[in-house]
Amino acid sequence: MSGIFPYSQDGGLPPNPSQPSNPAQAFLPTITPLDTSALYYGNGCDVRLRPHVVNSMISEIAATADRAQYPYRASSVQNLEFAVRYLIQRGLARGALLVQQTPFYYAAVLDPPALAYNDFMTLTFVPQMGGSDTQNQGYVRVALNGLSYVPLLRNDGAELQAADLRPGVPFIAAYYQGAFHVVGLSASQVPLVLVGSVNFWIRPDGNDTTGDGTANSADKAFRTINGCWAAVGSRYAASPTATIVMRLGVPGDYAYGNVGPCGSTLTLYGDPANAAAYRVLSEEHQYDTLTFRAVGCNSLNLVGVNFVLQSSVPKANGAHCIWIANTSMTLDRVQFTLEASNTNGFVVFTTLASTLNTAIATTIRIIGNNQTIVDGLASSYGTQMPGAASGPAPTVWHWENINFSGAGYAASLSSSITLGNHTVELINTTGKRYTATDNSTIATGQPYPGNAAGTTANFSTAGPGT
């Protein structure tokens, strides 16, 4: 036997509420001991102070000191006090590895084991991810010592977001009313200020849930432009000196993209030497069909990408290879491909004080595949298409095998299309060359795509051009 009063002759007595003075000064535990009722010496003269009992008392102190990694000192009368303080300092009873069991469920083992979840329980966790995961994938559920899973939430009560937990990085969480709450701000609550140019990779075989865009590999890249923008746009604060580069990692077909607002420079980058192979495909929505849309971008660059319109369904708000609003956009070695005719389709539609520029000495290719759409370049509501700045070589606009039911160039509602420092290559383009309405101007000095006369309205002009 071991512990206090190992033998009956040691004289141990349980506390007695009906006789509080026998044994004297005996604390009545609120939780009944597991294996004995005898805790105290009685008041009788038959009490024997045996070594077994005294050693048990000393062992309680020595075991506490040992657990605290504090060496017992016979010369000290503060062993227990120091040991308790060291236990608190070391956090041995309130810290644990938080080990990923499934993508969203984690388990921790406390020593001593947690018997229940208690309000105000405050623990330090160190995440341990499974497989190739380098972060949590989203919401997190936690179980202690085989208890039921409970939510781990941010300090605002919302679910954790991807990358809020990182392996090996400790955090503190407190339990209250059915859930743990991270003490302090989570990563998703603190926007990061971008400095310089930062690349985020996208691949058709990537993953918008587990990827973080840090490498051009299937396990790290985002799967879609939208997934990348949702993660990056919500995570980083705009900086006028920063450039966010969304890189398409491999040739292939990519889902449509919708980006903005963005106060930094934003670039979608494929392969300038092989733009046709980096295909961004159109997607039908309730009121429109889009291949790429940008709203509220301070500076947007599209480089080496092929925007493919595949839908023939005439949606109410149009079908667009590119649709921009309140955005300044520059095109560089991009391609537009039509794989279906659309009676409400546009190659590029700019609206709401947007600007379209082109890089110097670049080529913009529009491959029509003998399809029919409404307008080629459409500018409305105070937008401008000034083209490229003067330089050693002009921009080339290459149009082939396309028919316009509207016009090659269309400007309306106080807009303009001038396309300075450019040349135009035309192969089998049919339809009206231009239409300018509502105080708008078209003046390119180069041939217009199309083969029929253009038209102007009141307070509008077009020309010269052929």
Can you spell out the DSSP letters for 356-373?
EEE-TT-EEEEEEEEEEE
Same domain for 396 and 320? yes
Residue 32 in this model has a pLDDT that exceeds 90:
no
Same domain for 327 and 314? yes
Average confidence score pLDDT of the chain? 91
In this prediction, residues 215-234 reach a mean pLDDT of 92
Same domain for 85 and 108? no
Same domain for 110 and 20? no
User: Is residue 215 a contact partner of residue 221, using CB atoms and an 8 Å limit?
Assistant: yes
Same domain for 351 and 414? yes
112: its two tokens:
């001593």
Q: Where are the beta strands (DSSP E) in 326-394?
A: 328-332, 335-338, 345-351, 355-358, 363-379, 384-387
Question: Three-state SS for 311?
Answer: coil
pLDDT in tens, 353-403: 999 999 999 999 999 999 999 999 999 999 999 999 888 899 999 999 999
Q: Distance between CA atoms of 118 and 95, rounded to whole angstroms?
A: 15
- Domain C-terminal end among 74, 90, 106: 90
Same domain for 19 and 99? no
Same domain for 105 and 84? no
DSSP class of residue 168 equals T
Same domain for 378 and 286? yes
Residue 430 within a domain: yes
Q: Which amino acid is at 244?
A: I
Same domain for 62 and 24? yes
Confidence of residue 10 (pLDDT cuts 50, 70, 90): low
In this prediction, residues 84-97 reach a mean pLDDT of 88
Residue 286 in this model has a pLDDT that exceeds 50:
yes
DSSP class of residue 117 equals -
Residue 234 within a domain: no
Q: Which amino acid is at 304?
A: G
Domain count for the chain: 3
DSSP class of residue 9 equals G
User: Is residue 201 a contact partner of residue 222, using CB atoms and an 8 Å limit?
Assistant: yes
Q: In this predicted structure, which of 25-39, 223-237, 375-389, 400-414 has the lowest mean pLDDT? A: 25-39
Same domain for 442 and 419? yes
Residue 380 within a domain: yes
pLDDT attached to residue 1: 46
Residue 198 within a domain: no
pLDDT in tens, 157-182: 999 988 899 999 999 999 999 999 99
- Domain C-terminal end among 46, 61, 90: 90
- Domain C-terminal end among 67, 90, 113: 90
293: its two tokens:
């849309």
Residue 355 within a domain: yes
User: Is residue 236 a contact partner of residue 212, using CB atoms and an 8 Å limit?
Assistant: no
Q: Which residue has the higher pLDDT, 59 or 45?
A: 59
User: Hunting for tokens 């396990």 — which residue is that?
Assistant: 219
User: Is residue 312 a contact partner of residue 280, using CB atoms and an 8 Å limit?
Assistant: no
Q: 261 preceded by cis ω (within 30°)?
A: yes
* Rg, Å, the chain Cα set: 36
Range of the domain at 139: 95-187
Same domain for 142 and 76? no
Same domain for 129 and 83? no
Residue 192 within a domain: no
Residue 92 in this model has a pLDDT that exceeds 80:
no
Confidence of residue 52 (pLDDT cuts 50, 70, 90): confident
Residue 170 within a domain: yes
Residue 112 within a domain: yes
pLDDT in tens, 124-154: 999 999 877 788 989 999 999 999 999 999 9
